[in-house]
Amino acid sequence: MALISTGSYLKADQLTEDGEIRRVVSCSQQPIKDSAGKEELRWILCLDGGLKPLILNATNIKTAVACLGGAETDDWVGQDIVVYQDPNISYGGVVTGGVRLRGVPAKAKARRNTKAEDARLDADDIPF
Contact criterion met (CB below 8 Å) for 26 and 34: no
**CA 115 → CA 23, 57, 81, 109, distances in Å?**
14, 32, 17, 10
- Tens of pLDDT, residue by residue over 92-111, are 899 999 999 999 988 776 66
CA 74 to chain centre: 15
Q: Report the chain's mean pLDDT, rounded to a whole number.
A: 87
Cα–Cα dist 83/41, whole Å: 22
How confident is residue 128, by pLDDT bands cut at 50, 70 and 90? very low
* Percent of the chain that is helix, strand, coil (3-state, to 5): 25, 30, 40
Q: What is the arithmetic mean of pLDDT over 14-24?
A: 96
* Amino acid sitting at position 88: N
Nearest to 82 by CA among 67, 97, 70: 67
Strand partners, 47: 24
pTM of the full predicted structure? 0.79
Cα–Cα dist 103/106, whole Å: 9
- Tens of pLDDT, residue by residue over 43-85, are 999 999 999 999 999 999 999 999 999 999 999 999 999 999 9
